[in-house]
Chains A and B, each alone.
Chain A
Amino acid sequence: MSTSIKHAPLPWRRILTIAPPFVWLVLFLLVPFLLVLKISFADLQFGVPPYTALAEFKDEALSLVLNLRGYALLFTDSLYIATYLESVRMAVITTIFCVLIGYPMAYYIARSEPSVRNVLLIGVILPFWTSLLLRVYAWIGILRNDGIMNNLLMGLGLIDQPLEIYRTDLAVHIGLIYAYLPFFILPLYANLVKLDVRLLEAAYDLGARPWRAFFSVTLPLSMPGVLAGAMLVFIPSVGEFVIPEMLGGADTLMIGRVMWTEFFNNSDWPMAAAVTCVMVLLLLIPLVFFQYSQVRQLDARGGRRNG
C-alpha cells in the first residue's frame, strides 16, 4: 500500500523525459568504453581494423580468444609500471600545489565584497576559457634555456648558467599546476561562497580567534569543495598528454604519452586500449569517490517539499 518516493512507478511521461539523454549517454560513453575493454583483449593485425575480432564462429564452434599479451606486458615490464607510478606521483604533486595555491585564492575571492568578487571571479575564469594550448606554449618561451626567465635571472646576476627547466619533469609540474589551478579554484569557490558567514560570527562570539575559527568552522565545511576540486585536478592529470608532450623531456614518463605513442606511432591499438583500461582501473577509486560525491551533492540539494 505504501508508495516510496524513491522508486515511484514511472508513468510513460517520465520515461520519455529521462530515456533519450540516458540512451544517448549509454550509447556514446558507456558502449565506447566497453569497446575499449574489448579491444584490449584483441591482437594486433594489419589492415582495417588493425585488431582481431575476439569471437570467431568456425566449424560450428564459437571460439572466444582473449589475448592477454598487452596486459601481461603492462604488469611485468618495469617501464610501464614506473610510468604509471610516475603519472600518479605527478598528479599528486600537482593536486597538492593546486590546493596550496588555490585554496587561499578561492577563500579570499569568496570573502570579498560582491562587486569585487565578481571581477576577481572573471579574473579566474578568463584564463580557464583561453586556449590551454596557447598558454602552455607561452611557458615554453618562459622556461627555455634562452627563455625569459633564464635571461632575467642571468641579467640580474643571480645565476651564470641557464637553469635547465624546459624539457624536464619540473616544467611539466609547472605546466600542470598552471593549467589545473582554475579547475580547483572554481568548485571550491562555489562551495566557500555559500558558507554562512554567521557561523563564523558565532564562533567569534564564543571567543574563537580567527585562525581557530578557520580550522574549526571554515575548513571542515569546505571539505566537499576541496575534495571535488582535488578530484577535478587529480584524475585528468594522471592521463594528461598535451602538457607533458610540450614541456616534458624524452624521459618524462606519463601514461598519457605512452598510450598516444602506442596508438599513433606504433599503431598498436590493442596495446593502447590495454594501457587505457589499466589507467581507468587505477583511477577507479577516485572516480567512484567523485561520482559518489556528485550524487550526494545532487541529492542533498534536491529534497522533497515538506507537507
Chain B
Amino acid sequence: MGKPSTRLRALVLGFGYAFLYFPILLLMVLSFNDSAMMTTWTGFSLRWYHELFNDRALLEAARLSLIIAACTATAAVVVGTWAGYVLARMGRFKGFALFVALVSAPLVIPEVVLGISLLLMIVELSDLFGWEAQNGAFTIWVGHVILSMAYVSVIIQSRVRDLDRSLEEAALDLGASPITVFFQIVLPLIAPALASAWLLAFTLSLDDVVVASFLTGPGYTTLPLEVFSRVRLGLKPEINALATLFMVMVAVLVVVANRIQNRKG
C-alpha cells in the first residue's frame, strides 16, 4: 500500500508531458516540411535549414548572442557563487534579509521592471560622469549578469549548504586559511553545480528579449531580438529550423550536465 496508482499516474504525467512537448515537437517536425504552410505536409526537405544558414542577419545576431551569453555565464557564475557562498556560510549577519531580497529579486520581479531599472541607472551614470552612453553589447551583458546571477546564487547556495561542514573545518584545522579552503576544498566539491549554473546562465542570456530590448543600442541585435521582431511581422519557417537546432543543442547540454552531476554524485 502506498504506491501511487499507476493508471492515474500515467494519465497525469502523460497529459502533462504531452502539453509541454507538443509545441516543441511540432516545430521540429515542421522544420523539415517542404511547404511553408504549417498545415500541409508536402514532403521532407532541408530548405529551411539552407535558408537559415544563408540568413546573414540572423547568423550575426546568433553570433553576438552566443558571445554575450558566454561572457554572461562566466561573470554570473563568479558573482553568483560568491553571493551563494555568503548566503550559505556566513550565517545571519546584519542586513541578511535585505541581502536575500536583493539576491532573489531577479527570480520573481517582472523583467520589464529589471529592464527599465538598469537602463535608467546607465543613463543617470552617463549623465553624471558625462559619458556618451552608447548602449550595446556591454550594457546587455551587464543586464544579463544581474538577471542570471540570481539563479546561480540559488543553485550554489543550495549546493554549499549540503556540503559537509566538517570538511571545511578539517582543512582549517590542518592549517589552510579560509581562502585556501574555499579554492581547494569547496570549489572542487561543488564543481558540477558550477557547471550547471554556468549552463543555466548561458541559456537565460541566450533567450532574453525584454532586458536586451531596454539595454541594446544601435547596431546591436541579439538573436531573440531578431526573432521577436520577425515574428511580429509574420511567421517564417526558417525559424522552425532555428528552433529545432536550438532544442537539440539544449537537449544535449542538459543530458551532459545531468550525467556530470550524477557521476560526481
Q: Are A210 and B1 in contact (CB under 8 A)?
A: yes
Nearest to A50 among chain B residues (CB) is B123
Given contacts A28-B121, A256-B112, A276-B112, contact A140 B235 (CB under 8 A): yes
CB neighbors of B among A213-259 (8 A): 231-232, 235-236, 238-242, 245-246, 256, 259
Separation of A172 and B88 alpha carbons in the complex (Å) = 38
CB neighbors of B among A24-44 (8 A): 24-26, 28-33, 35-36, 39
Kindly state whether residue A57 has any CB partner on chain B within 8 Å: no
Contact with B along A267-281 (1 / 0, CB 8 A): 001001100100110
Q: Are B82 and A131 in contact (CB under 8 A)?
A: no
Q: Are A25 and B118 in contact (CB under 8 A)?
A: no
Kindly state whether residue A75 has any CB partner on chain B within 8 Å: no
Q: Considering only CB atoms and an 8 Å cut-off, how many residues of chain A contact the other chain? A: 99
Kindly state whether residue B227 has any CB partner on chain A within 8 Å: yes
Q: Which residues does chain B contribute within 8 Å of A139, judged by CB atoms?
A: 23
Q: Which residues does chain B contribute within 8 Å of A102, judged by CB atoms?
A: 16
CB neighbors of B among A180-239 (8 A): 181-182, 197, 200-201, 204, 210, 231-232, 235-236, 238-239
B190 CB to closest chain A CB (Å) equals 16
Nearest to B110 among chain A residues (CB) is A239
Separation of A140 and B182 alpha carbons in the complex (Å) = 49
Kindly state whether residue B165 has any CB partner on chain A within 8 Å: yes
Question: Contact residue range for chain B?
Answer: 35 or more
Kindly state whether residue A17 has any CB partner on chain B within 8 Å: yes
Q: Are A302 and B227 in contact (CB under 8 A)?
A: no
Q: Are B112 and A273 in contact (CB under 8 A)?
A: no
Q: Are B123 and A6 in contact (CB under 8 A)?
A: no
Kindly state whether residue A64 has any CB partner on chain B within 8 Å: no
Kindly state whether residue A178 has any CB partner on chain B within 8 Å: yes
B164 CB to closest chain A CB (Å) equals 12
Q: Which residues does chain B contribute within 8 Å of A151, judged by CB atoms?
A: 39
Kindly state whether residue B108 has any CB partner on chain A within 8 Å: yes
Kindly state whether residue B127 has any CB partner on chain A within 8 Å: yes
Q: Are B100 and A298 in contact (CB under 8 A)?
A: yes
Among A36, A130, A148, A240, which residue has its beta carbon within 8 angstroms of that of B250? A130
Q: Which residues does chain A contribute within 8 Å of B108, judged by CB atoms?
A: 231-232, 235-236, 287, 290
Nearest to B153 among chain A residues (CB) is A21
Separation of A269 and B106 alpha carbons in the complex (Å) = 22
Kindly state whether residue B174 has any CB partner on chain A within 8 Å: no
Q: Are A101 and B16 in contact (CB under 8 A)?
A: yes
Kindly state whether residue B13 has any CB partner on chain A within 8 Å: yes
Contact with A along B13-40 (1 / 0, CB 8 A): 1011101111110110010000000110
B99 CB to closest chain A CB (Å) equals 6
Among B39, B91, B93, B110, which residue has its beta carbon within 8 angstroms of that of A236? B110
Among B3, B88, B100, B109, which residue has its beta carbon within 8 angstroms of that of A294? B100
Q: Are B209 and A134 in contact (CB under 8 A)?
A: no
CB neighbors of A among B84-106 (8 A): 85-88, 90-97, 99-106
Nearest to B38 among chain A residues (CB) is A141
Q: Are A125 and B39 in contact (CB under 8 A)?
A: no
Q: Which residues does chain A contribute within 8 Å of B206, judged by CB atoms?
A: 131
Q: Are B246 and A295 in contact (CB under 8 A)?
A: no
Among A101, A133, A279, which residue has its beta carbon within 8 angstroms of that of B113? A279
Q: Which residues does chain B contribute within 8 Å of A272, judged by CB atoms?
A: 116
A66-74, A78-86, A105-113: which lies at the interface: A105-113
Separation of A131 and B209 alpha carbons in the complex (Å) = 10
B144 CB to closest chain A CB (Å) equals 12
Kindly state whether residue B55 has any CB partner on chain A within 8 Å: no
Separation of A7 and B20 alpha carbons in the complex (Å) = 47
Separation of A298 and B30 alpha carbons in the complex (Å) = 46
Add 18 more A-B contacts to A25-B99, A122-B254, A200-B2 (CB < 8 A): A6-B92, A7-B92, A21-B82, A21-B103, A29-B117, A32-B118, A32-B121, A33-B113, A39-B120, A101-B16, A108-B12, A120-B13, A130-B203, A131-B207, A134-B247, A142-B26, A236-B108, A272-B116
List 21 contacting pairs A-B, 8 Å CB cutoff, sorted by A: A21-B83, A24-B79, A24-B83, A28-B121, A32-B121, A107-B4, A108-B13, A118-B258, A126-B251, A127-B20, A130-B203, A133-B209, A134-B247, A139-B23, A141-B27, A142-B26, A147-B38, A242-B228, A273-B116, A279-B113, A291-B100
